[in-house]
Amino acid sequence: MNTYRIAVISGDGIGPEIVTQAWKVLEAAQKKFGFVLERTDVLLGGASIDAHGEPLTKEALETARSCDAVLMGSIGGDAATSPWYKLPAHLRPEAGLLAIRKGLGLFANLRPAWLYEELREACPLRGDIRCAGFDMLIMRELTGGLYFGERYTRIENGLRTAVDTLVYNENEIRRIAVKAFEVARKRRGEVVSVDKANVLDSSRLWRAVVEEVSADFPDIRLSHMLVDNCAMQLVRDPSRFDVILTENMFGDILSDEASMITGSIGMLPSASLNETRFGLYEPSHGSAPDIAGQDIANPLATILSAAMMLRYSLDQDKAAEAVEHAVRQVLRDGYRTEDIWSDGTEKVGTARMGDLVAERV
C-alpha cells in the first residue's frame, strides 16, 4: 500500500474551513482506492506571523520539502485592517508565499479552467459559446521573465526612466515545456505555445526551444499562437484549447482571463510544480476574511486542487477522477454554496458541501 506524506497549510481567512473539507474528501479517496495519506500541518502567512513573528520559518520550509506534496488553503487578510499589513513588506503574509515557492523550486504553475454544464449561465460569454463548453489548462512559467529580471528607476537625460528586463534562458524554457507536454499526455494531447515571437527575442528563443522539446513528444500536437491572438480566441472560441503553454507575464494575464469566463473563481484550483513530481496545490481565490468562520465559503476549488495533487504528485489518477466526478455529481444534484447559488438549487454551507462530495467519491 502506497503511503504519501502531505504538508497541509490551512492558512488564513477561510483557509482552515476549506482545507478541512478537502482533507475530508481525500480521506474518502484513500479509503476507496487503497493508499495512505499522512498529514503534517505547517504554518504559513498570517498564522505563522502570529505564532513565530515571520510568514515562513526555515523549519516550516524544511518540513514542506520533506513531504510528497503540499495542500494549501488561502494566505493573507484584509490589507486595510489587518495588523499584518503594518509590517515591512518582507514580513507580510504574501512574502511567505513567495518564499515557499522559491524555496521549493516551484516553476510551473497549472491553472485549469473548465465550464460546468450546471454553471453555464454564470459564464459571461455568448450563449452559443457557452453551449460548446471548454476544458483547458494554462501552464505558466512561474520564476522567470519580466517579473524576475533586473529593474530600476532613475533619472536619464533629466527624465524619470523605468526599466524592467525580460530574461529567459533555454533551460528555463525547456523545463516548463517538458512539464506542459507531460501534462498534455494526461489530457487530450494538444499544446498551444503562446508567445510574441513577431516582436521579442525572448519569444523567438521560447518558440525554438519548445519546438526542440516537441520532437521528444511525437504523440502530442503542438501549435503556436501570438499572445494577442490567444487573448482574443479565449473569448471567441475557448473550446479550441487543451494545454496553453506560456511565459510568466503572459500566463498571469491569460489565466485571469480564463478564470473570468468560467463564471466563478470559487471553482478554480491550481498547482505549482518543481522539476520532480512535487507540487503545491491551492485554490485560485483569496482568503476572503470577510466571510471567514461563517460556513459559507465555497470549498470546491480546494477540493479540486486536492484532485490535482492526486493526479500530478501522487500518480493516483483514478482517485483524482473520482473526486472530480464527485464534484460534478454534487452540482448535477442541485447543491450550491452561496457564491454559485441560483433559483431552483439548494443552498448548502461549507461543511455540508464537503460532506456531499466525500459521499460521492
Same domain, yes or no: 36 and 107: yes
Say which CATH number the domain at 75 has: 3.40.718.10
Same domain, yes or no: 196 and 253: yes
**Which residue in 50, 78, 201, 228 is the catalytic one?**
228
pTM: predicted TM-score of the whole model, two decimal places? 0.87
User: How many domains, the chain?
Assistant: 2
Task: Give the end of a domain, one of 227, 261, 295.
Answer: 261
Q: In this prediction, what percent of the chain has a pLDDT beyond 90?
A: 81
Same domain, yes or no: 129 and 100: no
**Which residue in 252, 281, 312, 335 is the catalytic one?**
252
Same domain, yes or no: 1 and 109: yes
Same domain, yes or no: 356 and 298: yes
Residue numbers of the chain with a pLDDT score lower than 50: none
Same domain, yes or no: 88 and 131: no
Task: Give the end of a domain, one of 234, 261, 288.
Answer: 261
Same domain, yes or no: 3 and 110: yes
Task: Give the end of a domain, one of 261, 286, 307.
Answer: 261
pLDDT digits (tens, 9 = 90+) for 164-181: 999 999 999 999 999 999
Burial 258-273 (b: 16+ CB within 10 A, else e): bbbbbbbbbbbbbbbb
What pLDDT score was predicted for residue 263?
Answer: 76
CB-neighbour burial class of residue 357 (10 A; exposed 0-12, middle 13-18, buried 19+)? buried
pLDDT digits (tens, 9 = 90+) for 105-141: 999 999 999 888 888 888 888 888 888 889 999 999 9
Specify whether 196 is catalytic. Answer: yes
> What are the distances in angstroms from CA 146 to CA 142, 194, 314, 329, 341?
11, 16, 32, 42, 39
Specify whether 135 is catalytic. Answer: no
**Which residue in 78, 216, 237, 256 is the catalytic one?**
256
Residue 335: closest CA among 31, 174, 326: 326
Q: What are phi and psi of 345, to 5 degrees?
A: -115, 165
Q: Quick one: DSSP state of residue 149? A: S
Same domain, yes or no: 106 and 164: no
Domain region containing 85: 1-116+266-361
How far is it, in rounded angstroms, from Cα 224 to Cα 254? Answer: 15
What pLDDT score was predicted for residue 148?
Answer: 85
Same domain, yes or no: 112 and 146: no
Same domain, yes or no: 229 and 297: no
Burial 334-351 (b: 16+ CB within 10 A, else e): ebbbbbbeeeeeeebbbe
What is the 3-state secondary structure of 254-307? HHHHHHHHCCCHHHCEEEEECCCCCEEEEECCCCCHHHCCCCCCCCHHHHHHHH
pLDDT digits (tens, 9 = 90+) for 321-330: 999 999 999 9
Sequence-separated (6 or more) residues with CB below 8 Å from residue 207:
193, 195, 197, 224
Specify whether 317 is catalytic. Answer: no
**Which residue in 102, 147, 317, 355 is the catalytic one?**
147
Residue 110: closest CA among 268, 228, 300: 268
Same domain, yes or no: 128 and 257: yes
For residue 164, the cross-strand partners are: 151
What pLDDT score was predicted for residue 42?
Answer: 97
Q: Is residue 279 a contact partner of residue 312, using CB atoms and an 8 Å limit?
A: yes
Same domain, yes or no: 275 and 255: no
